[in-house]
Amino acid sequence: MAAYRHVLSALIPALALVAGALLPSAASAQTGPIRIGVPTPLQLQVGRDTIDAVDMAIREINAHGGVLGRKLEMVVADETENPETGINAIKKLTADEKVDVLIGGYTSGVTLAQIPHIQRAKTIYLGIGAASPAVTRGVRTDYENGKYIFRAFPLNSQHQARALAEFINGVVKGELGYSRVAIIGENAKWVQDLVPLLRKGATDLGMEVKLAEFFDTQTSDFSPLLSKVKDSGAQFLVVILSHASSDVFVKQWYDARFPMLIGGIDVKSMDADFYQRVDGKAQGEIAANLGVRAPLTPKTIPFWDAFVKKTGRAGPVYSAFGAYSAVMLYAEAVGRAKTTAAESVIKELEKTDHVGVVGRLQFDENHDIKAGPGFINLFFAQWQDKGERVVVWPKEQRTGKVVLPAWIKK
Amino acid sequence: MLEILLYGAVTSAIYALLAVGFTLIFGVARILNLAHGSFYALGAYATYVLSSTLHLPLALAAPLAVLCVAGFGVLLERVLVRPLRGSQIGVLMITLAASLVVEQVLLITFGSEYRNVPSFIDGKVAIGHVDIGGQRLLTLGVAVVALGALLLLIHRTRFGAAILAVSQDPEAAQYLGIPADRVFAQVMGLSAGLAALAAVLAAPFLTVQPGMGLLPMVKAFAIVIVGGLGSIPGSILGALLLGYSETIVAYLVSTSWTELVSLVAVLFTLVLRPAGLFGKRAAF
Amino acid sequence: MTVRRDLVGAVLAVSILAVAPPLVGSSYLVGVLTVAVIYGLWAASWDFMSGLTGRENFGFALFIGAGAYTAGFLDTLAHLSPWWGLAAGMAAAALFSLLLGFPTLRLKGPYFALAMLSASAIMQRLMLIFWETTGGEEGLYGIAPLFSSPLAYYYFVLAATVASVAFLVMLARSPWGLILRAIRGDEATCLAAGIDVTFYKMVSLIISAAFGGLGGALYAHYQLQVSPQLFSVVTTITVIIMVYVGGMGSIYGALGGALLLTLLTELLRDFGQWRLLVYSLTLILILFFLPGGLVAPLWRRLRGGGGR
């Protein structure tokens, strides 16, 4: 009995809160602040850095008087890595918070689940996390409904495959003189899209693909797979993973000193302090990065340093580059359109030509970010002594040469 | 073949350390402890904090971490499990909620990033044509010693006799002057300590992040079913069976199929021989 | 007497749910309520089999997923009307329960729970392994909505759930339900009394699965997407926690528990990254202090007169 009374006394204030939350919040359309909705996984680094970067961009714009005389403000909703929560986040931001634009995203599965709901809310979405080409497919197949979706970041997996093939041609084949590679990737949509393209690209270059295998995203032990790669005789192992445990992957490669060089797209290895977090066992891994602390554009180094100063962390993860630039290019489009009405802003967004923090940003006819030299590109950096990251590809940005770990003979 | 033999042995050893603790607490207290994976995660994070943040030498940090987690196990039994022990689903739910809390606390305190638990041995060892990390061999050795010690403890000491008595009939044991409640708490501590030991040994080459406890717990669960709930030799055999079949599937079929192995094994065991390989109690 | 009060309570509860959307005035919260009601249908169906017979089904997600994927495939591949999806979702889930029920229902408590759990987890992994057909971790997306207006869909889901739950409650209170409860109490005696225990357990599992599948299809046409996460243990556990908080064995309590917890998770959004911690701590408090659950025991006290 007493227990009930306790629960009830706890519930009553909660109910009062609920009633308060249910009252419709007034948000007038063309006056007051411009609201930027950020659906992102709050508890992950990707989400944390997205929020910090959006906040940085908003502060800068507001310090210069905002857009059309209106200030910008951010509304965050946790989308986790679960589609159901992701859909709820979109509905909260569009229906309740009445945001003018959505900037965020991480897991392709969540983003794809959100898209129909974003389209029905007729709200502009600037994706900055998901790489699956399917995200912008609606723009091509059904422009009237699909036009709200843009991918401002990162490169879609087709572009990533092409960039990887160029890296294999330039570094793996060209510099190291290897001819045998193996490709392993986690069993996720964007990798399933990427691997066949990469395989074909490598074969076209005259490389021998000794092994290509998908592994479960929950794989807890990579040793059997690494042994198989070793037995296949591959000299270079291309790895593509984002959600799987990349710490296990490099630790086990290093612990048994597997005799092939590893590299590719390892999303966690983009973190500035990844090397420290795996006790230096990433030594020699060549990971693709979407941004590095180098003068890629005049804005790169100032942004990087300001981000480090603001957050006290070692460096931004990839979502921060996209989030910061997406706010900037949205603000520019609104400025040109002289309104926040979606239809007009979309027209202006399509004309975007913006120098972002890691490259020049333009959208192609599918609302997908353009990729390649000068635009958004992949930078391949190798972890070398004492956790120094040395850019080895593309040639224009390189800061050093590939160094083989001590146990790998050329 | 040699790599299957070696890598399979290491995997089995880790699984056995986890499964034995899980089955022990079921055998004695008849509860399924869904917080068992939290012990594993806490073991790794405790070592991380003690060695990387407080800069204790690993030889000191590791046993200290195991002790802390064992203490946490006792506490969990006293505070949350004991009052609900009458209802099996009640215990299931409360230990599940406890494991959610542990995961969230780790996530909020340490973030979603990987953390580094240092290894005792850095180098590799070459056996035949197989290269294997030294820490893995150490894990195998320590696990075998720990399991041997556990069997001795149960069959050769008064504490072990009390465990056996309580697991056969808690009420009768109580009449004989064995404090069943205290035995439950001690066994919970022991089981938590074993899971933490597995983490201290394996975390240097496996993943360390807040959700790290779930998968090992599911594996332990599966092993215990295959071996027979409550049977220690059964769970050791189950661990070998699962560790090796996963390694073999990874080598011969594909790594994307490994996670399916334990699940299929469980379903088949339950349908064909529900009491497990060594289970005494009827499951029908 | 208590029956009449139960009826009054039910009418009251349904009317509150029916007038909630205009009061709430936010299509986001209407969406949350829709999902909450679907969870209610799942919780009530779970309770019908497991709460009554005492066989905790830890693989219920299998039926949810089967219903959702069937509806999804019919829509995205065959382009059939969504109404077919609802019927086919129910049928597919019932079929799965038939296939799994025979080998597993003879098992005792935890063994049945684990057998079902592994069956649903196997389905989840198969969805990932055969990604070329199933869409892998992204699952199926671009499913057509059943109604274009969210409000219309809410009322449809509410009507379907209320009808299903009323049916399940009546069944549970019929002589039929009495037999199921008797099986929970003492299976051996029931056998001795000449009751075909296996038959009753089987049929109750099929009914529970069919309504779970219906909920799955409703869910698919609301979220417009299905993913392998539906098959995961997490889905099952979410549903069981709802039943537990609602009060096991009452069925209507499960519906209440589902509404309560879904709203709680959404309303805790303001806690940001602390949300799940607050949620799980709340859960511990409820589980610890109210082992009999919250909703059904509370209603029994309000109503008086004992009984269920």
Supply the pLDDT for residue C22.
79
Are the Cβ atoms of C25 and A22 closer than 8 angstroms?
A: yes
Considering only CB atoms, B255 lies closest to which of A216, A246, A276, namely A216
- Domain presence at residue B203: yes
The three-state (H, E, C) secondary structure of chain B, written as one string? CHHHHHHHHHHHHHHHHHHHHHHHHHHHHCCCCCCHHHHHHHHHHHHHHHHHHCCCCHHHHHHHHHHHHHHHHHHHHHHHHHHHCCCHHHHHHHHHHHHHHHHHHHHHHHCCCCCCCCCCCCCEEEECCEEEEHHHHHHHHHHHHHHHHHHHHHHHCHHHHHHHHHHHCHHHHHHCCCCHHHHHHHHHHHHHHHHHHHHHHHCCCCCCCHHHHHHHHHHHHHHHHHHCCCCHHHHHHHHHHHHHHHHHHHHHCCHHHHHHHHHHHHHHHHHHCCCCCCCCCCCC
Model confidence at C99: pLDDT above 50: yes
Q: What region does A142 belong to: left with phi over 0, alpha with psi -120 to 50, or beta?
A: beta
| Residue of B89, B223, B242, B264 best to disrupt the C interface, most CBs of C under 10 A | B89
Q: Is residue C180 predicted with pLDDT exceeding 70? A: yes
Average pLDDT, chain B: 90
Identify the band that residue C193 occupies on the pLDDT scale cut at 50, 70 and 90: confident
So what's the pLDDT on residue A308?
Answer: 96
Q: What is the pLDDT of residue A25?
A: 41
Residue boundaries of the structural domains of chain A? 34-155+297-361, 158-289+378-397
Which residues on adjacent β-strands are paired with residue A390?
A382
B112 touches chain C (CB under 8 A): no
Decide the pairing of beta strands C140-141 and C225-226: antiparallel
C221, with CB counted inside 10 A (0-12, 13-18, 19+), is buried
pLDDT one-digit tens code per residue, C232-250: 988 999 999 999 999 988 8
- What pairing do the DSSP bridges indicate for beta strands A34-40 and A72-78? parallel
A-chain residues near B113 (CB < 8 A): 45, 271, 277
Fold category of A34-155+297-361 in CATH: Rossmann fold (3.40.50)
Instruction: Measure CA of the first residue to CA of the last residue in chain B; give whole Å.
Output: 40
Residue A9 clears pLDDT 60, i.e. is over it: no
Is residue A143 over pLDDT 60?
A: yes
Lowest mean pLDDT, pick from A125-129, C18-22, C28-32: C18-22
- DSSP assignment string, C196-216: -HHHHHHHHHHHHHHHHHHHH
Pairs of residues, one from chain A and one from chain B, whose beta carbons lie less than 8 Å apart: 96
pLDDT at A16 over 50: no
pLDDT at C1: 59
CB-neighbour burial class of residue A205 (10 A; exposed 0-12, middle 13-18, buried 19+): middle
Q: How far apart are CA B122 and CA B124, in angstroms?
A: 7
Q: Are strands A180-186 and A208-215 parallel, antiparallel or unpaired?
A: parallel
State the smallest CA–CA distance between residue B108 and chain A in angstroms. Answer: 8
Q: Chain B: nearest CA to C104, how far in angstroms?
A: 6
C122 touches chain A (CB under 8 A): no
The answer to which of A148-157, B67-76, B87-96 has the lowest mean pLDDT is B87-96
pLDDT on residue A10? 44
More confident residue, C304 or B154: B154
pLDDT at A38: 97
Domain count, chain B: 1
Nearest to C229 among A6, A43, A82 (CB): A82
pLDDT of amino acid B282? 42
Give kind and range of the element (H or E) at residue A388. Answer: strand A388-393
pLDDT per residue as tens digits for the range C249-305: 889 999 999 999 999 988 888 888 888 899 999 999 998 998 888 888 888 888 876
The pLDDT, as a whole number, for residue A6 is 45
Looking at domain A158-289+378-397, which CATH architecture does it have? 3-Layer(aba) Sandwich (3.40)
CB contact under 8 A, C131 and A187: yes
Q: At A75, list the tokens.
A: 């509304």
- Sorted by where each starts, the structural domains of chain C and their CATH numbers stand as 2-303 (1.10.3470.10)
CA distance A334 to A392: 38
**A34-155+297-361 against A158-289+378-397: fold identical:** yes
Which residues 6+ apart lie within 8 Å of B178 measured at CB? B162, B165, B166
- Count of CA atoms in the C-beta half-sphere (13 A) of B275: 8
Q: Does residue A52 have a pLDDT over 50?
A: yes
Q: Do the beta carbons of residue C293 and residue C248 sit within 8 Å? A: yes
C63 versus A374: the higher-pLDDT residue is C63
Euclidean distance between CA atoms A223 and A256, whole angstroms: 9
Note the residue count of chain B: 284
Non-local (6+) Cβ contacts of A28 within 8 A are: none
Q: How far is B215 from chain A (nearest CA, A)?
A: 8
Comparing CB atoms, the residue among C29, C227, C298 nearest residue A4 is C298
Q: What is the pLDDT of residue B174?
A: 84
Cα-Cα-Cα-Cα torsion C206, C210, C213, C219, nearest 10 degrees, comes to -140
Q: Give the residue numbers spanning the domain of B58.
A: 2-210
Estimate the crossing angle of helix A300-311 against helix A318-337, to 10 degrees.
110
**Cβ contact, residue pair A255, B135, below 8 Å:** yes
Q: Hey, which residues does B126 pair with through a beta bridge?
A: B131
Per-residue pLDDT reduced to its tens digit, A326-368: 999 999 999 999 999 999 999 999 999 999 999 999 999 999 9
CB atoms within 10 A of CB A190: 27
Check pLDDT > 80 for residue A99. yes
Tell me: the pLDDT tens digits for B208-253?
A: 999 999 889 988 988 988 888 888 889 999 999 999 999 999 998 8
Q: Sign (positive/negative) of CA torsion A108, A110, A116, A121? A: negative
What percent of chain B clears pLDDT 70, i.e. is strictly above it? Answer: 98
Q: Which amino acid is at B53?
A: T
Residues of chain C in contact with residue B274, where contact means CB-CB under 8 angstroms, are 107-108, 111
- Residues B172/B16, Cβ–Cβ less than 8 Å: no
List A70's β-bridge partners, or say none.
A67
> How far apart (Å, rounded) are the C-alpha atoms in residues C287 and A148?
45
For chain A, list the contacting chains (3+ Cβ pairs, <8 Å): B, C
- Residues in A touching C128 (Cβ below 8 Å): 187, 216-217
C196 touches C176 (CB < 8 A) = no
Considering only CA atoms, which of A209, A268, A220, A285 is closest in space to residue B255? A220
Q: Could you tell me if C272 lies within 8 Å of chain B, comparing CB atoms? A: no
Residue A354 C-alpha from the chain's centroid? 19
* Cross-chain residue pair C104–B271, CB shorter than 8 Å: yes
Name the residue of chain C whose CA is nearest to B98's CA.
C284
Distance CA C242, CA B95 (A): 16
Q: Does the structure show a pLDDT above 70 at A299?
A: yes
pLDDT of residue A2: 41
CA C226 – CA A87 distance, rounded (Å): 12
Which comes out higher in pLDDT, residue B105 or A25?
B105
User: Would B238 be classed as within a structural domain?
Assistant: no
Confidence of residue B180 (pLDDT cuts 50, 70, 90): confident
Nearest-5° Cα angle at A107, A91 to C82: 55
